[in-house]
Amino acid sequence: MTDRAISFSDEMVRALLDGRKTQTRRVLKHRPGKDERVIDLGAGYAHQCNFSGDYWGGEWLWPYAVGDRLWVKEAHALDPADGVVLYRATGEEPYFAEDAPVKWIIGRHMRKARSRLTLVVTEVRVQRVQDISEEDADAEAFGGDFPHDVLPELFPDADRAGELSIRQCFGRLWDSLNAKRGFGWDANPWVVAISFDVHRANIDRVAA
């Protein structure tokens, strides 16, 4: 079991808090070629090989494992009056003077002691992002709600949003987070799919 940090956008932090998000997908650092696939060896290890199975690449350890605890990093600020941590995702505002704007600290610079959410990993899979099922896509952010209701900024064509499958809606979400990095939906990158239980507490208060 390993403890490590994981960053989320404001929208995804709200999804965690609302109970709409119990999975996340992250681009795999060990990326097989376009004619290769990943073979699960168990115990957190995997091989990559071509589809005929006559070539095998190196063995490598998956980046996450069942039982890992992930403490969530998110945008935040400190109230200058009392040092209380304020979280941008939930609209918390300090009582700054009018001429002193909020100085938000981006998520990747969050200290562990300031984290309010901990995820305990329950399942790890490696797959192409487009292999996601409708059920898994729903668990990524929507939680049974209408996607255009919970993430309206992704659906300017709200009148037609109901014509999209949950996978297609997730594809829009994925692109909003990853397309600029070259890992958009159409690129169909290899990802590690992580399922987890959400604990609304700092990692030091969550049982190992």
Residues in the chain, how many? 208
SS3 label, residue 10: helix
Average pLDDT over residues 3-30: 94
**Rounded to whole angstroms, how far apart are CA atoms 65 and 121?**
7
pLDDT tens sequence across 71-85: 999 999 988 777 889
Classify burial at 13, counting beta carbons within 10 Å of its beta carbon; exposed 0-12, middle 13-18, buried 19 or more: buried
**Rounded to whole angstroms, how far apart are CA atoms 134 and 144?**
11
State the pTM of this model.
0.85
pLDDT tens sequence across 139-188: 999 998 888 888 888 888 766 767 889 999 999 999 999 999 999 999 99
**Rounded to whole angstroms, how far apart are CA atoms 19 and 142?**
9
Arch. (CATH architecture) of 3-28+63-197: Roll (2.30)
Average pLDDT over residues 29-47: 55
